[in-house]
Amino acid sequence: MYIDNWSLRREMTGRYRARIPARDFTLDLTMESTQGLLLQGERGYSRKSPLAAQASYYYSQPGLKVGGTLKWGSQ
């Protein structure tokens, strides 16, 4: 996924990598899951209203171990 020159991608290992270049710094992050996926609602099905058409399937990925580097200027 890209927003302007920011990026977030999931590697084949399951790790996520984010690169966020800004005017004065660049942030490079690596994120690894420390626990399983968490299904929202009933087995991932989350009703938004009494109408069956207003629902979605989704999950969260909590417990991410984050590491990375911050580059400020040439440091």
Task: Say what the alpha-carbon torsion angle 52, 58, 62, 67 is, to the nearest 10 degrees.
Answer: -150
Instruction: Indicate the domain borders of the chain.
Output: 2-46+57-72
Residue range 8-53, pLDDT digits in tens = 999 999 899 999 998 889 999 999 999 988 998 888 888 887 766 7
Give the span between the Cα atoms of 23 and 31, in whole angstroms. Answer: 23
Q: Between these two residues, 54 and 11, which has the higher pLDDT value?
A: 11
